[in-house]
Amino acid sequence: MSASRRRAAAIGGGPGRPVVRKCLLALACSTSAIVTMADDGGSTGMLRREIGMLPPGDIRNCLVALGDDSSLVGRLFQYRFPHGEGLAGHALGNLIIAALADITGSFPDAIAFAAGLVGAKGNALPCTLEDVHLSAIDGSGRPIRGQATIAVSGGPIADVQLDPECPAAYPPALEAVSSADAIVIGPGSLFTSIIPNFLVEGVAQALRDSSATRVYVCNVANQRGETAGMDAADHVEALLAHGLRGAIDIAIVHDTESFPVRGASETGYDEGPPVHEVVCGGADVRARIEATGVKVVAANLVAADNPAHHDRSRLLETLREVL
Phi, then psi, of 161 in degrees rounded to 5: -140, 155
Cα angle 229, 234, 239; round to 5:
130
Q: Kindly give, in sequence order, each residue whose CB lies less than 8 Å from that of residue 76, ignoring residues fewer than 6 positions away.
A: 92, 93
Examine the domain organization and report whether 33 and 43 are in the same domain.
Answer: no
296-318 pLDDT, tens digit per residue, is 999 999 998 888 899 999 999 99
Q: If you average pLDDT over every residue of the chain, what do you get?
A: 91
DSSP letter, residue 80: B
CA dihedral over 219, 17, 79, 86, signed as positive or negative: negative
Contact present, 277 and 228 (Cβ < 8 Å): yes
Distance CA 214, CA 9 (A): 10
Domain holding 189, by residue range, is: 7-37+127-322
Examine the domain organization and report whether 156 and 300 are in the same domain.
Answer: yes
Distance CA 169, CA 21 (A): 22
Contact present, 145 and 135 (Cβ < 8 Å): yes
| Buried b or exposed e, range 199-235, using 16+ CB within 10 angstroms | bbbbbbbbbeebebbbbbbbbbbbbebbbeebbbbbb
Examine the domain organization and report whether 151 and 82 are in the same domain.
Answer: no
Query: Of 123, 144, 173, which residue is a domain's last?
Result: 123
177-227 pLDDT, tens digit per residue, is 999 999 999 999 999 999 999 999 999 999 999 999 999 999 999 987 889
30-61 pLDDT, tens digit per residue, is 999 999 999 999 999 999 999 999 999 999 99
Q: What average pLDDT does this structure show over 13-24? A: 80
70-104 pLDDT, tens digit per residue, is 899 999 999 999 998 889 999 999 999 999 999 99
Query: Of 72, 90, 123, which residue is a domain's last?
Result: 123
155-174 pLDDT, tens digit per residue, is 789 999 999 999 999 999 99
The tally of domains found in the chain comes to: 2
Judged against a pLDDT cut of 60, whether residue 284 lies above it is answered with yes
Examine the domain organization and report whether 309 and 165 are in the same domain.
Answer: yes
Q: Which of 11, 8, 15, 78 is nearest to 219 (CA)?
A: 15
The pLDDT, as a whole number, for residue 262 is 67
Examine the domain organization and report whether 225 and 296 are in the same domain.
Answer: yes
Contact present, 208 and 133 (Cβ < 8 Å): no
Task: Supply the pTM of this predicted model.
Answer: 0.92
